[in-house]
A and B are shown apart, each in its own frame.
Chain A
């Protein structure tokens, strides 16, 4: 495995209450939320420090090192990244659901979804800053299973990164374990307009 593999473990995760409520189904009527639900979200948020183990691992590849999939075409370099919040939150959410604390489990799961999204966003930002130091322009981030990048391409990402270093594995269906994990690629271009096109 190449030496240019980097790990990030420092994140400041701030969760937006509105996004949590959106995940829980409140698309419009935010005013109709009852106090006990707001209280429950606050209580579960307060426990997150013990439930999150945010981490990411990434690697910058030359185009020649990729599997030359069409989605990498014209890129000078490609960044592959895997992010996670670890297994504890989803274990706790599962435990709550089994104990007829379904809503609390669901709230925790929604917080987890938003937390891993935050980890991905912050990782993307770090990668973008690094790419600018290389005088390259980053595309947006794309994950396998979206657009023209088949979910089976997860296997390529996992071949290129020692995901076990941050406790993430891939099952035979190309699903990441822990579930609250995100993998993505960012293409880096010499030309700014190419980065924007993607």
Chain B
């Protein structure tokens, strides 16, 4: 089989949410000693981008979006040892620190954002839920992060997003990170009011907003 045909199959496996096939093809790429960067960029990345497009058009729904991300993650896990061995560094879109703010234990939305950012080439460090506000800034500094993503699902906890921005400002680190916010009670107006760099109303929008911020 020609390489281009394999890339096409990889893309198709992601679009169709066929995890077994995506992983089988990743193993095949390793066995055939294919160029792993091309495998990722011409195969899997094309697939996840198409899934995002279909979702934006309303043809795909959350389950298809998530399955695409799962397939991508599964294939990347298989390719990882090969990438390390060949000392290949995949091009990261940026490093993201993500979590749900202190006092809030909701984590589904945050997990979806983390998963889709990872599937779209971001390096994601998920701090979990109910995260101490200072910890976001400390971890971002420690990891040399590009983004801090803050989730809050309650009107009582969304204030935590504002406080994290204030902490970054107090520590004179505000300009170092792009800060994105999201969650049920949050909107664009709130994001602008607290001085966040971006607001995303859903997981796919988070990917788009992060990529747009990088372009600026």
Instruction: Report B's interface with A, CB cutoff 8 A.
Output: 17, 61-64, 66-67, 69-70, 73-74, 77, 103-108, 111-112, 115, 154-157
Contact = CB atoms under 8 A, between A and B. Distances in A.
**Which of B77, B108, B155 gathers most chain A CB within 10 Å?**
B108
Interface residues of A, number: 29
Contacts of A102: 66, 69-70, 111-112, 115
10 contacts: A24-B62, A29-B61, A34-B64, A37-B63, A100-B77, A102-B115, A107-B63, A173-B154, A175-B156, A177-B105
A106 interface: yes
A25 B63 CA distance: 8
A151 B155 contact: yes
Contacts of B107: 94
B66 A106 contact: yes
A179 B105 contact: yes
Given A25-B62, A102-B115, A175 B103 contact: yes
Given A25-B62, A103-B70, 17 more contacts: A24-B62, A25-B61, A32-B61, A97-B108, A100-B74, A102-B69, A103-B67, A106-B112, A107-B63, A151-B156, A171-B103, A171-B105, A173-B103, A173-B154, A175-B104, A175-B157, A179-B106
Contacts of A32: 61
A100 B66 contact: no
Contacts of A26: 61
A174 interface: yes
